[in-house]
């Protein structure tokens, strides 16, 4: 990856196509190297049965979405809106969406009346595994590095998926989203952007902070947590779910991030390494209130029919984060890596 990036400013995004993992990635990646719009025949491809656990399907969807975020080495940028790509993506989105639907219970009419209050209840009742507590007190250095590598799939583009909502909101909800995003993007100081703080943490830990450097190592469930927000973000009709996702994300962030900062301190790392986590303790204690009451509450007041999807987005975030945390803790209990083997060493 570093070689690919050598001729670009470190701030510019360019990724290499990862190695294919199965029929969906093989079919997609070989098409992407052809002229934009080349046919991608999916009629003979087996539909993923367990979409959230399918390493091949999640990587194919991830790369299909990455066309909206980054340049891909050797891929014509016009692929982003090529009808054949969109058709391919839609087939995977349909399976993914169904799998998420199966995880998320339907919400009641009462819950939609005061969305801000319901979000507080959902977060308070969430009983996902105690990943941050484990990392704080017990994780080895290798496990901590794995955790950072998993999170790099999102944190190196932190806030970007939720920015898709900006042109789709209006009035108080839009102002609330921008109040959060301005802080996420460093309030005009590029070195304070949360994605830049995360890159600094990666550097301090001896990891490669280049965007996309570890895509090949990421299992299905990690990619699914990011595909969830990209999918909500790239479909205007899911603006409610996108807003609910952001609200639940912010509301479950301050305390875990304090623990992750403590984990780094326990292992002897200094303030440059913990800066990302320390910043999030204070920042997300601000954002969570704006996100729940002004953003989510504001959207529900402006467009009451979105309330149900706001709560769906919040529940989907909690459900997928829970599966992801279970994956990490489960692998670590069995004393094995939670990442996929790299193509070089496999």
Partner 1 sequence: MSPTDGPDRVTITPYRDGPYLVRGSFELLDQDGNEIELSRRTIALCRCGKSRIRPFCDGTHRLTGFRAPGRAEQPDALLDVAVEESHG
Q: Quote the least distance from Cβ 141 to partner 1, whole Å.
A: 25
Contact 72, 28 (CB under 8 A): no
Q: Quote the least distance from Cβ 123 to partner 1, whole Å.
A: 7
Neighbours of 112 (CB within 10 A): 18
Q: 77 vs 282, which CB is nearer to partner 1?
A: 282
Q: Quote the least distance from Cβ 287 to partner 1, whole Å.
A: 9
Phi and psi torsions of 276, nearest 5°: -60, -45
Task: Name 27's Cβ contacts closer than 8 Å, sequence gap at least 6.
Answer: 40, 41, 42, 45, 60, 88
- Would you call 312 exposed, middle or buried from its count of C-beta atoms within 10 A (0-12, 13-18, 19+)? buried
Q: Quote the least distance from Cβ 247 to partner 1, whole Å.
A: 13
Q: 97 vs 120, which CB is nearer to partner 1?
A: 120
Contact 126, 318 (CB under 8 A): yes
Q: 80 vs 279, which CB is nearer to partner 1?
A: 279
Q: Quote the least distance from Cβ 285 to partner 1, whole Å.
A: 4
Alpha helices per DSSP H over the chain: 2-5, 23-32, 55-66, 83-103, 115-125, 131-137, 141-155, 160-163, 171-184, 194-204, 220-234, 239-251, 254-266, 271-289, 297-302, 307-333
Asked whether the CA dihedral 255, 220, 11, 263 is positive or negative, the reply is positive
Q: 180 vs 224, which CB is nearer to partner 1?
A: 180
Q: If DSSP codes are grouped into helix, strand and coil, which group holds residue 333?
A: helix
Q: 114 vs 208, which CB is nearer to partner 1?
A: 114
Q: 78 vs 133, which CB is nearer to partner 1?
A: 133
Q: Quote the least distance from Cβ 122 to partner 1, whole Å.
A: 12
CA distance 96 to 88: 13
Q: 134 vs 211, which CB is nearer to partner 1?
A: 134
- How far apart, in Å, do the first and last CA atoms of the chain sit? 18
Q: 232 vs 260, which CB is nearer to partner 1?
A: 260
Which tokens hold the place of 256? 């875990």
Q: Quote the least distance from Cβ 183 to partner 1, whole Å.
A: 5
Q: Quote the least distance from Cβ 193 to partner 1, whole Å.
A: 13
- Using CB under 8 A as the criterion, which residues of the chain lie in contact with partner 1 when the complex forms? 116-117, 120, 123-124, 179, 182-183, 187, 251, 253-255, 258, 279, 281-286, 288-290, 293
């Amino acid at each position: 990856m570093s070689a690919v990036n050598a001729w670009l400013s470190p701030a510019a995004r360019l990724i290499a196509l990862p190695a294919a993992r199965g029929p969906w990635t093989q079919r997609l990646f070989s098409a992407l190297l052809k002229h934009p719009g080349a046919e991608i025949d999916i009629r003979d491809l087996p539909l993923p049965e367990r979409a959230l656990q399918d390493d091949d399907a999640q990587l194919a969807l991830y790369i299909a979405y990455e066309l909206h975020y980054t340049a891909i080495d050797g891929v014509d940028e016009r692929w982003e809106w090529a009808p054949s790509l969109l058709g391919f993506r839609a087939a995977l989105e349909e399976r993914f969406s169904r799998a998420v639907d199966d995880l998320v219970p339907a919400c009641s009419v009462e819950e939609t009346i005061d969305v801000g209050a319901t979000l507080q209840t959902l977060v308070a009742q969430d009983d996902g595994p105690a990943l941050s507590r484990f990392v704080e007190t017990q994780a080895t250095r290798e496990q901590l590095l794995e955790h950072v590598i998993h999170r790099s799939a999102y944190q190196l583009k932190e806030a970007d998926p939720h920015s898709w909502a900006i042109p789709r909101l209006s009035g108080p909800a839009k102002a609330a989203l921008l109040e959060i995003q301005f802080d996420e993007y460093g309030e005009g100081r590029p070195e304070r952007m949360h994605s830049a703080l995360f890159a600094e943490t990666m550097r301090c830990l001896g990891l490669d902070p280049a965007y996309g450097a570890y895509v090949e190592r990421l299992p299905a469930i990690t990619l699914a947590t990011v595909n969830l927000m990209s999918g909500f973000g790239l479909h205007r009709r899911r603006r409610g779910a996108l807003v609910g996702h952001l609200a639940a994300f912010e509301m479950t962030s301050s305390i875990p991030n304090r623990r992750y900062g403590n984990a780094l301190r326990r292992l002897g790392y200094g303030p440059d390494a913990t800066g990302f986590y320390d910043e999030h303790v204070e920042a997300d204690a601000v954002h969570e209130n704006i996100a729940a009451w002004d953003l989510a509450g504001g959207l529900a007041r402006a467009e009451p029919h979105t309330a149900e999807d706001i709560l769906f987005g919040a529940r989907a975030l909690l459900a997928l984060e829970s599966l992801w945390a279970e994956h990490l803790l489960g692998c670590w209990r069995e004393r094995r890596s939670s990442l996929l083997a790299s193509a070089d060493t496999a």
